[in-house]
Structure 1
Amino acid sequence: MKTQVDSDGIVTLTKEGENLIKDSPLFNDGLRPTTMAEHNWTSYNFASLWIGMSICLPAYSLAAGLIALGMNWWQAIITIILGNCIVLIPILLNSHAGTKFGIPYPVYARLWFGSKGAHIPAVARGLVGAGWFGINCWFGGTAIDTLLMSMSSWGNVPGHTWIAFFGFWALNVWIAYRGPEAIKKMEFWAAPTLIIMSLALLIWALTKAGGWGPMLSAPSKFTTAGEFFKVFFPSLTGAIAFWATMALNIPDFCRYAKSQRAQIVGQSVALPTTMGGFSFIGVAVASATVVIFGEAIWDPAAVLAKFSPLAIFFGTIGIILATLTTNVAANVVAPARAIENLSPRKMSFGAGAIITGVVALVMQPWYILDNFGNYIFLWLGTYAALLGPIDGIAIADYWLVRKQRIHLTELYRTNGIYSYRGGYNWNAIWAMLLGIAVPFVSRLIPGLGFIWDNAWTIGLFVSLIFYTWFMKRSSSLISQADYEKITAKAEAHAS
């Protein structure tokens, strides 16, 4: 029986396939495969998604952290662009599966970890997403607090910083509660607005300073290559880790792609250029503030606070918009889907969004951002070591083990081929543990610190290799002939 149909590389369920899974305890409307009509995201939608997510206060501050660690401006920007080009590879590899089969990340994870084991990578990604959600709320809330103080006597209000933070946190949760379609619409209009506001800030800085300022001509603090690389590799891991989360749950968005070309072009053009360009704006503006104000100001809110009340008002709107577009897209969808997947018949995406907001508070983002060491080495470095192996397993499973052949209805069966033993694929669990263990153990052994400095990359390849080896004879694999028995061919649709 044909349970799925392939139309120009997009696989959707047939009516027979839909009827087979609609009553499954692993099925609900948010976790089902998308229909052909829902595959409507164009290259612009994906470009605007990444522009909206990349123009954010953490990205502005990332270059600042690298310069504070001793890099000059171009070393910091190149590190960021290189990190984003590297992480773009797993993003595109995992995007292919989401686009072709229209499944969200928690369902995709059932392939590798099993119907129950999928909660391991889904919750791991969700916790990191919740952490980032809190970080962005803290960035945005404190920026709003700074701007309000510059316009009024807001600073005299007891607990004003916490009021601004919790108010902004509530706004984020409310918008996230409305769901992915609302996110798509917001990103569509926000992307060009954020680009214009960022360029306006850069033009103001250059005009006022009469040039690029002294910071762009300041030399690196490193006197030898060894000193540089000691900071470069963990910083590169931090730059990769910035979007390593999205490398996992990008199927949550690419399941709506109109075609493979649409998601590849949109993402490849927007991600490295926006991250590199916005980081450069951060460096250039901070450089100009040395000339204009006599000190380097890395906080964009602190820069805006020196403007006129009207400019501060528009700047505040820009900061709110920049933080919202990043937070609700990059940091809520994954944890909300993970929570939804814990009990598909009882949990909704909206409930998951609310729970994500609460977990973000418990993770205390104000501590993570206490200093750049915590931010780049503790936060970015540690979760990179945890998520790299999961990225490796996802890539190995789809491209090397299954060769892009998935039986969609089996993903929603509690006793299907993707349930493995009791709902857990121990091949994936062991491969993940090995990928995590190698960098963490190396951190403790003198002379092997290089492995920890590249934890995401090393962990990815360790888990990829072991998972591919472990899965050689798995009964969950389907042959090309079996795939053709369940998959009908349809006429090509317009791309």
Structure 2
Amino acid sequence: MSKKDNYLQSPDLLPIRHGAKKVGTFGFAFIWVGMAVVLAAFAIGGSGVQSLPLSLVILATIIGCVILGFLMTLTGDIGVEHGLSFPVYMRAPFGTVGTHIPSIVRGFVASCWFGINTFFGSTAMNAILATLVGFDNWFVCFLIFGTLQVVNTSLGIKAVERFADLAAPTIIIISGWMYITLSEQALQQGRDVWAWVESPVTGGAAFTAFMIVMMANMGFWGTLASDMPSLSRFIKAPKFEKNWFKRNKGQIVGNLIAHPLVQTFMVVIGAVSYIAVSNYDPVVALQEAATGVVLGMLLLMIVLAQWSTNTSANLIPAATIFSNVGGPKIPFWAGVVAAGIVGIVVQPWSLFDIIIPALLICAGILSAIVGILISDYYLLRGRRVNVPDLYKNNGQFHYKGGINIAGFLAWIIGGGLALFFPNYAFIVGFFVGGIVYYFLAKYWWFKKYEQAEIIDPSDEKYLGISVGRDWVIEEKKEDSTVA
């Protein structure tokens, strides 16, 4: 078999079998606890209370998180049902070659977030060392912290889950401690955190401010909504379970319970931090509010949280994507290293001032991909997928020159329109991208390039775990089989 034929079958991108799914329901929930403690969440809270009372900021956050959590679970079923990662399934709506373009966009965004979170964690690490031993060099801390995360992630999903099991309880306890510390400091300033608003707005302006908070939360995790399969393929699920909710129980607890709760609490901490010291960065606020061991413990939470976030939400997806682009010559660990290098090269310390605008832009661009994925997987294929052909260079997903033009047109139109409505970017991109793709694919593209699972919607042929099937791809042959 030629290298050209084999490039789609990188060992790290083959379907995960039922017996190899190692992450349990609570393990995934703990991963979420660690993922949700990031700078952007604090920034959303700090920006929100400049115009709205904390209660409305919380409401907007919960609504955005619940909606997005449901969308994450919808796309995550691709990983649970078929064991497929995001870049592999993207070969269906974008083509075996076309998948690289949107995937690289997602991988680049993930790498940038890795850099931002690493810088944020390194400032906390530097503050701890400066307090305890007098060492003060954030860049050295940045390089050390980044290296530790890359090594941890390179060891695989089980190492990530073990770290989350250790970090999550610490993060929960110290987060509560942090909230109390900052609230007390706000009260000392004569500010009631539940009533104080820097520049109150009403009417249409208040609605716009509410939507910005909601869309910022959705934009922040919109990246993960698109490539949730890269994580969900490792989540345990029962064989022969046709009920969607029961099959996705492991996802639902994390995406719809842990994620909204932790994200909301982090937004609250950012808001309280801004109310206390006019700065949503809790590292700055805590250095003014605490000293000694207390400060060290609070800052330790920041370090653990950024570590846990980066491994699950940024390095794993980015590494999977880069491995897909590079083929068998780029194993998973090399993809992790590549993501780490990109995260340093973009100089994340200079990106803080554009976080909220960047979130809204990402929301528009990536929400269109979420809409396309859901439209392709549920509305057109009915969750049935001709998985063996995803790994064939000349199979049904090769389309014209490896490109699904319907997917690209829908992405361009959906993402483009979303940019014209930044305050509603995620909603616009999601619905426009999904609807345009549905009509283009169903009534044009799939008329030209027939899809086996649409012509013959057989559960036994094209479903995975819900009919007890493990997809097995023969790596050394062009033909693939199932077992």
Does the alignment reach a TM-score above 0.5? yes
Please provide the CA RMSD for this pair: 2.7
Query: Would you say the 8 A contact 2:111–2:340 is kept in 1?
Result: yes
> Could you say which residue in structure 1 is the equivalent of 2:451?
476
- Could you say if the C-alpha distance between residues 482 and 74 of structure 1 is closer, same or farther in structure 2, counting changes exceeding 3 Å? closer
CA distance in 2: counterparts of 1:275 and 1:130, whole angstroms = 21
CA distance in 2: counterparts of 1:173 and 1:485, whole angstroms = 40
> Could you say which residue in structure 2 is the equivalent of 1:422?
401
> Could you say which residue in structure 1 is the equivalent of 2:431?
461
TM normalised by structure 2 equals 0.86
Query: Would you say the 8 A contact 1:407–1:483 is kept in 2?
Result: no
1:43-122 alignment, distance < 5 Å:
43-68=25-50, 70-122=51-103
> Could you say which residue in structure 2 is the equivalent of 1:20?
none
CA distance in 1: counterparts of 2:438 and 2:30, whole angstroms = 35
Query: Would you say the 8 A contact 1:72–1:221 is kept in 2?
Result: no
Query: Would you say the 8 A contact 2:80–2:465 is kept in 1?
Result: no
- Could you say if the C-alpha distance between residues 265 and 490 of structure 1 is closer, same or farther in structure 2, counting changes exceeding 3 Å? closer
CA distance in 1: counterparts of 2:202 and 2:323, whole angstroms = 51
Worse-matched range after superposition: 107-116 or 40-49: 40-49
CA distance in 1: counterparts of 2:200 and 2:465, whole angstroms = 60
> Could you say which residue in structure 2 is the equivalent of 1:256?
234
Query: Would you say the 8 A contact 2:31–2:161 is kept in 1?
Result: yes
Residue 26 of structure 1: how far off its partner (Å):
1.0
1:85-484 alignment, distance < 5 Å:
85-155=66-136, 160-205=137-182, 213-219=191-197, 221-259=199-237, 260-284=248-272, 287=275, 290=276, 295-296=277-278, 298-305=280-287, 306-369=289-352, 371=353, 374-377=354-357, 379-440=358-419, 443=420, 451-473=421-443, 474=446, 475-479=450-454, 481=456, 483-484=458-459
Residue 241 of structure 1: how far off its partner (Å):
0.7
- Structure 2 unmatched ranges of 5 or more: 238-247, 469-483
CA distance in 2: counterparts of 1:342 and 1:269, whole angstroms = 34
Amino acid at match of 2:333: G
- Could you say if the C-alpha distance between residues 439 and 304 of structure 1 is closer, same or farther in structure 2, counting changes exceeding 3 Å? closer
Residue 436 of structure 1: how far off its partner (Å):
1.9
What does the per-residue CA deviation read over 1:357-383, in whole Å, with 9 as the maximum and x for residues that have no partner? 1111232222220x3xx1111x11111
- Could you say if the C-alpha distance between residues 298 and 485 of structure 1 is closer, same or farther in structure 2, counting changes exceeding 3 Å? closer
CA distance in 1: counterparts of 2:423 and 2:380, whole angstroms = 29
CA distance in 2: counterparts of 1:394 and 1:331, whole angstroms = 20
Residue 202 of structure 1: how far off its partner (Å):
2.9
Residue 488 of structure 1: how far off its partner (Å):
8.9
- Could you say if the C-alpha distance between residues 131 and 434 of structure 1 is closer, same or farther in structure 2, counting changes exceeding 3 Å? same
Worse-matched range after superposition: 99-108 or 142-151: 142-151
- Could you say if the C-alpha distance between residues 219 and 61 of structure 1 is closer, same or farther in structure 2, counting changes exceeding 3 Å? closer
- Could you say if the C-alpha distance between residues 316 and 281 of structure 1 is closer, same or farther in structure 2, counting changes exceeding 3 Å? closer
CA distance in 2: counterparts of 1:53 and 1:489, whole angstroms = 29
- Structure 1 unmatched ranges of 5 or more: 1-22, 444-450
What does the per-residue CA deviation read over 1:287-343, in whole Å, with 9 as the maximum and x for residues that have no partner? 5xx4xxxx4554322344353432333334322111100011101111111110012
Query: Would you say the 8 A contact 2:414–2:429 is kept in 1?
Result: yes
CA distance in 2: counterparts of 1:177 and 1:470, whole angstroms = 40
> Could you say which residue in structure 1 is the equivalent of 2:243?
none
Residue 389 of structure 1: how far off its partner (Å):
1.0
Amino acid at match of 2:213: S
Query: Would you say the 8 A contact 1:183–1:329 is kept in 2?
Result: yes
Amino acid at match of 2:218: I
Query: Would you say the 8 A contact 1:146–1:302 is kept in 2?
Result: no
CA distance in 2: counterparts of 1:39 and 1:92, whole angstroms = 17
Matched, 1:29 2:16: no
SS of 2:410's equivalent in the other structure is helix
> Could you say which residue in structure 2 is the equivalent of 1:19?
none
Query: Would you say the 8 A contact 2:183–2:193 is kept in 1?
Result: no
> Could you say which residue in structure 1 is the equivalent of 2:479?
none
TM normalised by structure 1 equals 0.84
Worse-matched range after superposition: 424-433 or 143-152: 143-152
SS of 2:305's equivalent in the other structure is helix
